[in-house]
Amino acid sequence: MSKRKFFIDTDTATDDAVALVMALQHPDVDVLGISTVAGNCTIEQATQNALYTRDLVGSTVPVHVGANGPLMRPLQTAHHVHGKDGMGDIGLPLHSRKPASHRGVQAMIDAIMNSPGDVELVTLGPLTNLALALRLEPAIVGALKRVVTMGGTAVLPGNITPLAEFNFWVDPEAAAIVTNSGLHFEMAGWDISTAHAVIHDELAAELRSLGTLGQFAVDIQGVLREFCRTETVLDGFDLPDPLAMAIALDPSIVTREAQHFVDVIPGDSAARGQTIVDERGASGKDVNCRVIYEADRDRFLHMLHQALRDAGPGN
C-alpha cells in the first residue's frame, strides 16, 4: 500500500516542532516537503527550527524557505510565547543548517501539481504561502486532495485579541484570500486545542520520559508553559499544531464537526483576523470548511505518545 503524501507549511516554533515530529515519524505518511513562513518567529528562525527538528528525527525531507512576512503589513511575531529563538530558549544549536531552496511557495505548488489529487496540505502558521500559491497557480484548488489548517476559532475568544487567533491575525489578508478562493479546508482552531490538547505537568513528565524526542518535545515548551500559566490561564501548555496534525493524520479523531462557510476579516479594525463561521448560512455562500468543534483527547494523546516514543528515522 502506497504512503499518503503530505506537504507541510510551518512557522516553526515549539508546538509546530512537535507536529513535524508526528508527521515525519508516521509510518504511513510520505512528507514531500516542508515550506517555512514567518509568523511565530522570523523566516530565518522558522527555517532553522524546521531543519533542526527534521534532522533530529533522521529525516531528509527538503525544507524550503517561504514568505518572510505578511502580504500587506509588518510581521508581528510571538517570541513572548515561544522564546526568542522560537524553541523555548533552551540552548539548541539552531543555526547554520542549509535549506533545500528559497522558493517555498513554488515548492508547494510543484508538490501539489506533480501529484494532482494525492497531496494533503497541512498549514501550521499564517496562510501567506498558501495565498501566494493560490495567486500564482489557481489550479491547486482542484488539485489538492485535502487541506488541514491550524488557525482561527470555531467559537470565541481568540488568543491574540478578544476576537482573533494568532495565525489568522498575523496575515488576515492572506487568510481572506484562502477562504474566498474556492478551496475547501478543515479548520482546527485554537479553541479545540485549549479544550482537548492541554498537557498538564504530570503528563508532560510522562512524555518526557519516553526518550530523546519526548525530552525535546517537552523541554522546548518552557516559555509557552509560563505564558499559558499567566496569560491564557491553562493548567499546563496547549499544543494546537500537534492536534491539527493528529486530525490530518487521522480524520476520525474528530468527534463533533459541521460544514459551513468560513471567512476571515482583513484590515486593521478591532476585528482584524476574526474568524466568521456562518452556521446559519446567512451569507448565502457555498460551504468551504469542515469546522472542527471537538476531538478525541485520548486518541490524540495516544498518537502523541507513539510519535515521541521512537527516535528512529522518519521519511
Q: Which of 80, 83, 79, 100 is nearest to 91 (CA)?
A: 83
- The residues, ordered by sequence, that sit 6+ positions from 8 with a Cβ below 8 Å of its Cβ are 19, 20, 23, 31, 33, 34, 35, 121, 122, 123, 124
Given this model, what pLDDT does residue 238 score? 96
* Residues of the chain scoring pLDDT < 70: 310-315
Q: What is the pLDDT of residues 68-119, one digit of tens each?
A: 999 999 999 999 999 999 999 999 999 999 999 999 999 999 999 999 999 9
- Residues 105, 128 contacting (CB under 8 angstroms): no
Reported pTM:
0.96
Three-state DSSP at 90 gives coil
Q: Give me the DSSP letters along 147-163.
A: EEEE-S-SSS--SSSSS
Task: Give the DSSP H/E element, type plus range, for residue 207.
Answer: helix 201-208
Q: What is the pLDDT of residues 23-34, one digit of tens each?
A: 999 999 999 999
Catalytic status, residue 263: no
**Integer distance in angstroms from the first to the last C-alpha of the chain?**
16
User: Which residue among 9, 11, 238, 241 is the active-site one?
Assistant: 11
Three-state DSSP at 116 gives coil
Amino acid at 279: E
The single residue listed with the C-alpha cell 496547549 is 238
Given this model, what pLDDT does residue 156 score? 79
For the chain, the structural domain boundaries read 4-309
Q: How far apart are CA 42 and CA 126, in angstroms?
A: 12
Given this model, what pLDDT does residue 315 score? 40
Given this model, what pLDDT does residue 1 score? 73
**Domain 4-309 architecture:** Alpha-Beta Complex (3.90)
